[in-house]
Chain A
Amino acid sequence: MARKLPRKDVVIIGLGWTGSIMAYELADAGLDVIAIERGPWRNTATDYPPGYAADELRYRIRHELFLSPGQTTFTFRNKMSEAALPIRSWGAFMPPNGVGGGGVHWNAETWRFLPSDFVLKTHLTERYGAGFLPGDMTIQDWGVTYDELEPHYDRFEYLCGTSGQAGNIKGTIMEGGNPFEGPRSRAYPNPPQDQPFGHTLFGKAARELGYKPFPQPSGNMSRPYQNPLGVRLGPCTYCGFCEWFGCGNYSKASPQTTVLPALVRKPNFTARDNSEVTRINIDSSGKRATGVTFVDASGDEWEQPADLVVLSAYTIFNVQLLLLSGIGKAYDPAANTGVVGRNFTHQTISDVVSFFDPEKFVFNPFIASGAIGMCIDEFNGDNFDHGPHGFVGGGYVGQVQTNGRPIETTPVPPGTPLWGAAWKKAVKDNYQSAIKPGTGVHGSMYSYRDVYVDLDPTYKDRFNRPLVRITMDFHDNEIKQNKFLTDKFAEIFQAMGARQVHKEYRKAPYDITKYQTTHLCGGAIMGTDPGTSALNRYLQSWDVPNLFVLGASAFPQNAGYNPTGTVAALAYWAADAIRSKYLKNPGQLINA
């Protein structure tokens, strides 16, 4: 039997980016808040100090900061007709674990989505006609607009100290920034980071081809910064051990370097680490959450009662907890009914690896940071006319080379043997003069009727609960989109003077073993109609109004950008709705 803890005003499930932001906002509003986190507490000074943070084997290859599949994993299949099998070691994505969540080891590429992304279905139908969209595509409008989110994007960028060049301030296009971005209320808090050699070459070549290149907005500090909560960050040293690693310099925006130092000092906030929530508890009416049940590291089970439950456990764990707690109707793709598990999406990442003359080019690829890059946005969202191309969606492309770590980044020209003297020589000859952008083509993936998550009939987790089952494949639209973007990207490398350009298109079938990004989206989406969405526009559950569900699980489809800027803006937007509306009158904020 679970032992019962004293009641709290709010219980937060998962203390990553969104959980930390929401915990701060609600503690700041005077509520008694507890956050329950599956993994351990993590400190810069004790967990990844500069003296040993730069250990490629330990963090990049053995994934020490991540969830272990032995603790929880998923099953996967391409098609509904196949049997799903467990993901035994991570491949296509890597779920975080521990206080700070993905914010500990993310790159900090900090984007906003385009205004049209939030009204995607309406926008595309108006511009191209409904017949232009594939029949099984299930894209939807979000129920919230860019203009409504703008102040919240701004808050997150100032929390993080984002380094970047504005492209559009209140409708005025700014030289050197991204001219396609939605209007922002003010400039970034910090100037862009300095760009290494390969990145500047990309910018120059792109400009000569008539594009408008700009530095990728980065949560790696271009200078010392103190954020509005009074927390200080130090300048990034371009160490090149950023993605997959904790920053030992306090230079990367993460919950640890931005929110948590202010949050843990609030007397009305408590965190419990190494404790996994196993269920959200619902009363007999089925319409009210009474709190959560969790298991701590000693294996003891506890019940934490609360008036308000915030689910912020990351996309796929959010969906898992909803399904296992029986909240909302599970999606059934055959009958096309139900909402939980629907519109699950990932990403279409591809690469162009380029080889330059070693006599003329020395790139020093190890001088890098997680979010450093020069990008163009001409081919993102609906920034170009899709009419002649026969697909929708897009992405940014850029020279975003984040590291020269030699286990991960020693590219050799195609056709080189995989081992032996020829391989060794090719590694040596090309290391300094090859470019392998990590997420060079960062493309959208739209939603489809047969891409979804539900509970697996066979495989179980260590609590003997069913694993979450992923059914996912690429559709023609995404394959065409990726080919188009990859070809455009390759043209820029050709113009940079590469002597050999190798395109690595993203092809079907979707492969769970090839890392793309950890940008999983959907499954508990927001919208305007409870028949096709799990949450209303404030991220409030349509079924259980004292439950709010944060994170990219709310995205009705993925856009051609990294998600966290939007994930965080939505967290602030939901926090604002709770503070200004819900607390005055706890109940459904939208009448369906």
Chain B
Amino acid sequence: MRRRTFLTLAAWLVGTTSLTRATVIHNHVPWAPHPNSPPEIARPGPWQFFTLDEARAMEAIVDRIIPPDPETPGGKIAGCAVFIDRQLKGPYGSNQGLYTLGPHTKGTKEQGPQSALTHADLYRKALAALDKHCKSTQGGKSFAELDAAAQDDVLRKIESGEVKFETVDAQGFFSALLKDVPEGFFSDPIHGGNNDMVGWKMIGFPGIRYDYRDWVNRHNERYPHPPVSIAGRADWTPAKS
């Protein structure tokens, strides 16, 4: 074994597992009194990955993928762009843990994506190309400046392959959106999206309530309790007296 490969392994392990050192376990359960892998909670605040222009485009996009309606807010208010921002800043954005060694050859559909781009690079390039495309075809307007119908039209043309980008696979970007935006709408609010659990309330998903023993036998009755997140519920926090 060459020393260099060892170092790669060590670096990999430090980045991704809760126990970073190999341990020898003998005659005891290696139980530590404090949790060693609590979740990472996305903090509110400024954009961490997107530039202001990119963020404007993203907020417009997520509101077209999941538009607002009278009962439920759309992707923007739900925080889908914030969710994607925090994801792209983190391990997902840098393709951490994926197999990234070359050669990178385009294969069959059944062999799966082979691109050398990270998710972060894909968004960066695609958002730039999107604005460039809009400005050259829509009288100098960026995507965010278009009205909803025109935005839908651009997105539909990307989806169908009619609009292509020079620098990056436009359809590949659209597939990423169709995966990432609903994730932001439906994942636990601790990740920055699903604000106020709007995605869960829309469908009647109770979140992480965890115990349905009283309910498993109550057939065809609607479960009545509102959702709970890993961070709890706002109305469980006692009001200051």
Residues of A within 8 A of B (CB): 39-41, 43, 45-47, 49-52, 54-58, 61-62, 68-71, 73, 76-78, 82-89, 91, 194-197, 200, 235, 237-241, 248-249, 260-261, 264-265, 267, 269-276, 278, 295-301, 361-362, 364, 366-367, 404-407, 410, 418-421, 423-425, 427-428, 431-432, 458-460, 462-464, 509-513
Contacts and interface: CB of A to CB of B under 8 A. Distances in A.
B163 interface: no
Interface string B1-43: 1110111111011001111111111111111101111110000
Given A264-B29, A367-B212, A427-B203, A62 B1 contact: no
A270 B97 contact: no
Nearest to B230: A52
B65 A419 contact: yes
B187 A88 contact: no
Given A89-B98, A272-B25, A463-B1, A78 B187 contact: no
Contacts of B6: 295, 298-301
A39 B17 CA distance: 8
B219 interface: yes
Contacts of A458: 103
7 closest A-B pairs by beta carbon, nearest first, are: A299-B6, A68-B97, A54-B208, A296-B22, A431-B203, A57-B187, A197-B219
Nearest to A406: B186
A271 B7 CA distance: 23
17 contacts: A54-B230, A71-B12, A82-B107, A84-B111, A85-B105, A88-B98, A88-B99, A197-B220, A237-B211, A239-B212, A273-B19, A274-B17, A295-B6, A300-B6, A362-B220, A364-B223, A420-B64
B240 interface: no
Contacts, number: 273
A270 B65 contact: no
A21 B81 CA distance: 47
Chain B contact patch, size range: 35 or more
B237 to A, nearest CB: 16
A45 B32 CA distance: 9
A300 B7 CA distance: 9
A364 B223 CA distance: 7
Contacts of A88: 98-100, 112-114
Interface of B: 1-3, 5-10, 12-13, 16-32, 34-39, 64-67, 69, 72, 91-92, 96-101, 103, 105, 107-114, 152, 155, 159, 177-178, 181-183, 186-188, 190-191, 199-200, 202-213, 215-217, 219-223, 230
B99 to A, nearest CB: 4
Nearest to A82: B108
Q: Interface residues of A: mostly helix, strand, loop or mixed?
A: loop
Contacts of B220: 197, 361-362
Contacts of B111: 76-77, 84-85, 512
Contacts of B107: 82-83, 85
